[in-house]
Amino acid sequence: MHPRLSTTSYALLGLLVFDGATSTAGLTGYELKQRSDKTLAFYWVSPAMSQIYTELSRLHREELVAPVDARQGRRTTRRYRVTAPGRQALTDWLLLSEADFPVLKHPVALRLMMGHLLPVSKTREMLQAYVDRLAVRHTELQAVRESLGDDVAYRYPAMVAEWGMAYYDAEVDIVAALVRRLDDR
């Protein structure tokens, strides 16, 4: 394992390794950003472009990715591929480090904690707005899941998408129970 790497570095390596199953061309920083927005954003954090390029530079210095420059006319495009040591570092991280327990950083829960400062109707509105946003995210994630199909190559991302949808469903159930408690008072 490489102690200098962040979880974001490993996430980017994972996106690059996953791409390696279908392409040897690698991905540009912009393509990594697009891919992270469509995947990582649902269960981790989608890094900013500047963070992606910072992490790619770190991964390159550690010789875990290799840049490949391609010229098209006057424009040069830099793509990154995972090196053998990069794939090994990712595998070591998966095998040798324990997954941290998730930190619940929930802005709706934080606001609910201070709900005594608001009329119950405003708290109910806040919770309903959250349920509405959950429905939107569920629909987005459902589209991701459908795009993955039943191809064995996408089995694990499909499971993560299904997990995410179940999480959103559970959040809706939790909010419904909270609203019932508001109504009981």
Residue type, 175: V
The pLDDT tens digits for 134-149 are 999 999 999 999 999 9
pLDDT at 170 over 90: yes
pLDDT of residue 102: 87
The pLDDT tens digits for 2-59 are 667 999 999 999 999 885 545 568 899 999 999 999 888 888 888 999 999 999 999 9
The pLDDT tens digits for 80-104 are 999 999 999 999 999 999 998 988 8
pLDDT of residue 25: 80
Specify whether domain 7-96 bears CATH 1.10.3720.10: no
Paired with 65 in beta bridges are 82
Please give the average per-residue pLDDT across 128-132, as a whole number.
98
pLDDT of residue 20: 55
Domain map (residue ranges) of the chain:
7-96, 107-184
pLDDT of residue 2: 66
Relative orientation angle of helices 49-61 and 7-20, to the nearest 10 degrees: 80
Q: Of the candidates 34, 2, 68, 47, which has an alpha carbon nearest to the alpha carbon of residue 144?
A: 34
